[in-house]
A and B are shown apart, each in its own frame.
Chain A
Amino acid sequence: MSPLQNLFDPQVLAEVGFAGTLILTFGGAVIAIFPRNILYSVLGLALSLTGVAGVFLYLGSPFIALMEILIYVGGICIPIVFAIMLSKPLHLTLPKRHLPKLGLALAAALTVFVILNSIIFKTPWQRAAVTNDDWSITSLGIYLLTRYELVFEVISLVLLAAIMGAIIIAEYSRRSQS
């Protein structure tokens, strides 16, 4: 097989796509964390969430990947951008962090990473004995309206209460200021 044909082998293409997805995810996360201008951080968050949607695609669920883009990139990043742009100096850059504090934060994060990794590699993961391969959206909808009906309704209630609370908090702070 010539190298060019080798490049279009589905397996190789899948590997390259997966590497691209990971670069998108972690590159976006790094952009989200480090710049001191907050607008860059939001754009990095959007990039990273798009990468996570790609990871979901590789995990076999296009529906969840689409929901990720719809809810996170569309529904969470946009309000953050609105909040930044509507209140005047939110986009101002903050003073630099002290180096010792940065080092402590890095040490804490690395501790978390090491502990998580040791758990991941020491646990003998076992596949469930009986598995069914039903990935269809139809059965997902049936589950949401039968077995997980109560959770579904409670989540709707939580969302409603959260949005009403957000409106009341924003309104109250404006009234108490003037």
Chain B
Amino acid sequence: MNSLHTYLVVAALLFTLGVFGLLQRRSLIGMLISIELMLNAASINFMAFNRFLAPDPLIGQIYTLFIMGIAAAEAAIALSIIVAVFRSLSSIDIERAQKLRG
């Protein structure tokens, strides 16, 4: 519980679950949810390095705060795009979003 490796493996497992969800999901909202999981794994990594290795334990916390801000912006944009895609296709199935296909 008190070693760097535990937290890094936890973050790697969470990131793997996010990658699997991103590849396996076909709905846009499900993919957005998986991306949030991956961002959280990155945050855990920052906080673990911050706790065990960094010279100044404040910098990792500040970076985690920035990641949260970016994630909030990304969720807002992604949700509005999903609503727009849904209005024009009447579906959020990613495999039907093929309007640009030649």
Binding site for B on A (CB under 8 A): 14-15, 18, 22, 25-26, 29-30, 32-33, 38, 41-42, 45, 48-49, 52, 55-56, 58-61, 63-64, 67-68, 71-72, 75-76, 79-80, 83-84, 86-87, 89-90, 94, 97, 101-102, 104-106, 108-110, 112-113, 116-117, 120-121, 125-135, 139-140, 143-144, 148, 151, 155, 158-159, 161-163, 165-167, 169-170, 172-174, 176-177
Query: Can you name 6 extra interface pairs (CB under 8 A) apart from A127-B53, A170-B80?
Result: A33-B34, A48-B14, A64-B47, A79-B75, A109-B17, A140-B62
How far is A64 from B47 in the complex, measured between Cα atoms in Å? Answer: 9
- Assess the A79–B79 pair: CB atoms within 8 A: yes
B52, B83, B88: which has the most chain A beta carbons within 10 Å?
B83
A114 smallest CB distance to B (angstroms): 9
- Assess the A45–B70 pair: CB atoms within 8 A: no
- Assess the A135–B57 pair: CB atoms within 8 A: yes
- Assess the A80–B33 pair: CB atoms within 8 A: yes
- Assess the A134–B58 pair: CB atoms within 8 A: yes
Across the interface, which residues of A come within 8 angstroms of B92, CB to CB? 90
Q: B31-65 vs A: 1/0 string, CB under 8 Å?
A: 01110110010011001101111111111011011
Partner of A83 from the list B18, B54, B57, B83 (CB cut-off 8 Å) is: B83
Q: B5-31 vs A: 1/0 string, CB under 8 Å?
A: 101111011111111110111110110
Q: Which 10 A-B pairs have the closest CB atoms?
A: A173-B84, A105-B23, A162-B73, A166-B80, A109-B20, A33-B21, A128-B55, A116-B12, A113-B16, A105-B24
Across the interface, which residues of A come within 8 angstroms of B80, CB to CB? 165-167, 169-170
- Assess the B37–A29 pair: CB atoms within 8 A: yes
B4 smallest CB distance to A (angstroms): 6
Binding site for A on B (CB under 8 A): 1, 4-5, 7-10, 12-21, 23-27, 29-30, 32-34, 36-37, 40, 43-44, 47-48, 50-59, 61-62, 64-66, 68-77, 79-84, 86-88, 90, 92-93
How far is A177 from B86 in the complex, measured between Cα atoms in Å? Answer: 11
- Assess the A109–B19 pair: CB atoms within 8 A: yes
